Structure 1
Amino acid sequence: MNDELDRAYSPWTLGPLSLRNRFIKSATNEGNAPGGTPTKALVRHHRSMAAGGVGMTTVAYCAVCPDGKTFEDQVMLGADSRPHLRALTDAVHAEGAAACAQITHGGAFTFLRQLSTPSPVSASGGINPPGFLSGRLFKHAASQDELRSLRVQFVRGAREAREAGFDAVEIHMGHGYLLSQFLSPAYNRRTDEFGGSAERRARFPREVLSDVLDAVGASMAVTCKISIFEGMRGGGTVEEAIVTARSMSDAGAHLIVNSAGMNVESPWHIFGSEMPPGIGGENASALMRAGNRMLKWQEPRIEFREMYLLEASRQIRAAVRTPLAYLGGVTSVEGIRTAMSEGFDAIVMGRALIHRPDLLMAFRSGELSKSGCNHCNSCIAAMYSASGTRCVLTSPEDFEANRIPAATPSAPQ
């Protein structure tokens, strides 16, 4: 079994990118961009992951346009954020790791106070389930002109990420954001070429992927993240996710990252455990607080187990030849060995690394064989705090670092 562990820690090639190992820090919303400006806290977060030994760290939710943000305090790729993101990528590179920008658009899942359209864009129009948390109760179907514009925005976002020093982009096609709204049978009721069968629902996300690959794929790794099941009534199944994975594989994705669940309807499937109270923090609207209560009523009894997405991910692994990353509760040396022995090409980790950024080094040295993360998910609620995402067990709050723009020169020592 040491062969599997050695393979995980060995260098590998992801598209045009060479990585020092097969470990990727997952995109976990950091809450470190108040007003949309990346801060010193965001740099510190990702530098710590790089110093701790990952091959690549992923900056969560970089919007491709103003309407694409889900919250006001999120990064949008562009000239304003570029110097701050460059400070982050420089810091990550200095620690020997690569940096990936997760590029996405929220579609109907948005809490923005202002949009350029009367209602948020989605695959189809009508009642907007996420809007019951934000007050945006209706959504509209993307027109042909909007679809063309959205493709351009994703390409522009990828190019902006490259200008900011990122080595890779992850196109988010899961969790209920815009591209996942096209993939989801619960959201996509279109009758044109972008709706109907699973193959047709995958068409627009595939076009986005193809455009991004054409634009930056020779110089950057281009990956995509999908929900392999949605876990909601009328939502996508593993069988439909196989169709999506094959479509993205045929389009040339350098890596597919498996995840699961939806942010609003079934967030517990994303994390494989119960959600914490207080999502949205002290600034949560009355609607969001009511939504939290409704979610807790609907939430099934679910206890964390290591490798909680393995059974479903095996089916994707058997269906595609494209490199595939395992995400879903790797918390031990044995979990790493299992993922490698199951034929996955990379391992994506989140909460265990937030708990201890140098966990991989501790595993490799033999200091630890299992993470100390207890999967309380309080790090998720902390995203909405003034200091941003942190492990409440191991990291103190630091409000000051989350007030200072990332590119601000450091004071002389």
Structure 2
Amino acid sequence: MSEISKSPFDPITIGPLKLRNRFIKAATNEGMAKGGLVSKGLSLFHERMAEGGAALSTVAYCATSRDGRTFADQVTMERDSLTDMKAMTDAVHRHGGAISAQLTHAGSFTFLPKSELQTSKPLSSSGGFNKVGVLSNRFFKQAMNQSQMEAIAEEFVAAACLAREAGFDAVELHMGHGYLLSQFVSPVYNKRKDAYGGTIARRMKFPSEVLSRVLDAVGKDLAVLVKYSMTDGAKGGNTIADGIEIAKYLQSTGAHMAVLSNGLNVESIEAMFGSSLPKSSTKPANLLIAVGMWLQSLNAPPEVQFHENYLRENALKIREAVDLPLAYIGGAASAQGVDQIISDEFDAIAMGRALIHDPQIINRWKNGANETSGCTACNRCVTMMYLPTGTHCVLTGAQDAKLNTIPAGASS
């Protein structure tokens, strides 16, 4: 690493949590919770991140309830999973790392069949046609009323409390990418005319209430992070000016850190990944993948070419506007790229694909290696999550799929 005023290997304190360095394994859908099982495969995946040097590893898409799931193969914050969650957090702690639960409610972004949801129409900020629902014969969504907002807010609080009991060191509220809280934040989804729609202040009202309640419940014991999209990257969506205002609301509400992501899952996934999804002349065998890729292709721009730190320009605008601790995410792939992020005064570096490719690169950077990740940003790891093996890099291989069928807390 070059000589700079701060090092990515300096410790950092986020709320009540002290981390050994500034590297965070970003939440990326692992696909290793088959049938909702917190499995040995999922545990090993995050253990490898801690062993490789990441200070904090984020377990993706921990649904606040069964109705809050996007997929059936997704962790749900339920007491029945407590023993297995404890086994996973213990595994990360053995390597000196910390672990975070990304708390998510899908809202209308759910592919669950009708038999899997208690409500006839999935919840969202606004009602009407649900384009994602064509995959599950749920063509309409319902606008949440006040009592439903109260219930969902309590779901997030209960999930955060269970995360604390399970040994997690942090929780990350997902306010980006088109999930429920994002469906309030984004004008692409939020068409309300009441106190929860219209201006950015009103669109942030419910997400801010959720954040405030979670902070009150666990903020003295756990770091409370928020992941959000700086821009929606879609017509009629949030711009970077809105992204700056969102950060200001997160700061005033008391978030311990914001993770600066981008884009929406359906409308602008290239804005999230900084490169195009893989294209193939053959139709994927998994119908969910096939239809999902077709939906995304309707809005896809021409081929987007990856470049390192591709979200830096917008992230710098957020950095200039707030004092809130910020984690940069978006294509860090080399020692020089990481140095750039730190010199830009971001507090942490969140990485996804590069660590899926090789978790050990952080340790090698710490030992002075001046190397660039072998990740090619092909995004094929995104579609791997639907396979029995779960998410993995096609260049470096997968874990044993059998591990995804064994509870994390089962004896060896």
Which band: TM-score by shorter chain?
Answer: over 0.9
CA–CA separation in structure 2 for the residues paired with 1:407 and 1:370: 36
**Contact (CA 8 Å) 1:281, 1:385: kept in 2 or not?**
no
Deviation for aligned residue 1:280: 11
Query: Structure 1 191/293 Cα, relative in aligned 2: closer, same or farther at 3 Å?
Result: closer
TM-score normalised over the length of structure 1: 0.96
Amino acid at match of 2:159: G
Please report the RMSD computed on the Cα atoms of aligned residues, expressed in angstroms.
1.6
Q: Counterpart of 2:38?
A: 38
Deviation for aligned residue 1:363: 1.5
Q: Counterpart of 2:285?
A: 282
Moved more, 360-369 or 143-152: 360-369
SS of equivalent residue, structure 1 residue 140: strand
Deviation for aligned residue 1:265: 1.1
**Contact (CA 8 Å) 2:266, 2:295: kept in 1 or not?**
no
- Structure 1, unaligned runs of 5 or more: none
Question: Does residue 324 of structure 2 align to residue 326 of structure 1?
Answer: no
Q: Counterpart of 1:141?
A: 143
Deviation for aligned residue 1:106: 0.3
**Contact (CA 8 Å) 1:281, 1:381: kept in 2 or not?**
no
CA–CA separation in structure 1 for the residues paired with 2:284 and 2:25: 24
CA–CA separation in structure 2 for the residues paired with 1:359 and 1:220: 27
CA–CA separation in structure 2 for the residues paired with 1:109 and 1:54: 30
SS of equivalent residue, structure 2 residue 317: helix
TM-score normalised over the length of structure 2: 0.96
Q: Counterpart of 2:189?
A: 187
Query: Structure 1 357/212 Cα, relative in aligned 2: closer, same or farther at 3 Å?
Result: same
Question: Does residue 224 of structure 2 align to residue 230 of structure 1?
Answer: no
Q: Counterpart of 1:299?
A: 300
Amino acid at match of 2:293: N
Q: Counterpart of 1:165?
A: 167
**Contact (CA 8 Å) 2:175, 2:207: kept in 1 or not?**
yes
Deviation for aligned residue 1:282: 3.4
**Contact (CA 8 Å) 1:255, 1:325: kept in 2 or not?**
yes
Question: Does residue 338 of structure 2 align to residue 336 of structure 1?
Answer: yes
Q: Counterpart of 1:209?
A: 211
CA–CA separation in structure 1 for the residues paired with 2:263 and 2:239: 10
Write out per-residue CA displacement over residues 277-322 of structure 1, whole angstroms, 9 at most, x where no aligned residue: 589963324xx52442343354222000000100011111111111
Deviation for aligned residue 1:366: 2.8
SS of equivalent residue, structure 2 residue 408: coil
CA–CA separation in structure 2 for the residues paired with 1:224 and 1:146: 22
Write out per-residue CA displacement over residues 361-408 of structure 1, whole angstroms, 9 at most, x where no aligned residue: 112223342111111111111000001011111124522111111111
**Contact (CA 8 Å) 2:69, 2:110: kept in 1 or not?**
yes
CA–CA separation in structure 2 for the residues paired with 1:5 and 1:376: 34
CA–CA separation in structure 1 for the residues paired with 2:308 and 2:108: 32
Moved more, 29-38 or 362-371: 362-371
**Contact (CA 8 Å) 2:284, 2:290: kept in 1 or not?**
no
SS of equivalent residue, structure 2 residue 7: helix
CA–CA separation in structure 2 for the residues paired with 1:335 and 1:5: 15
CA–CA separation in structure 2 for the residues paired with 1:280 and 1:150: 37
Q: Counterpart of 1:56?
A: 56
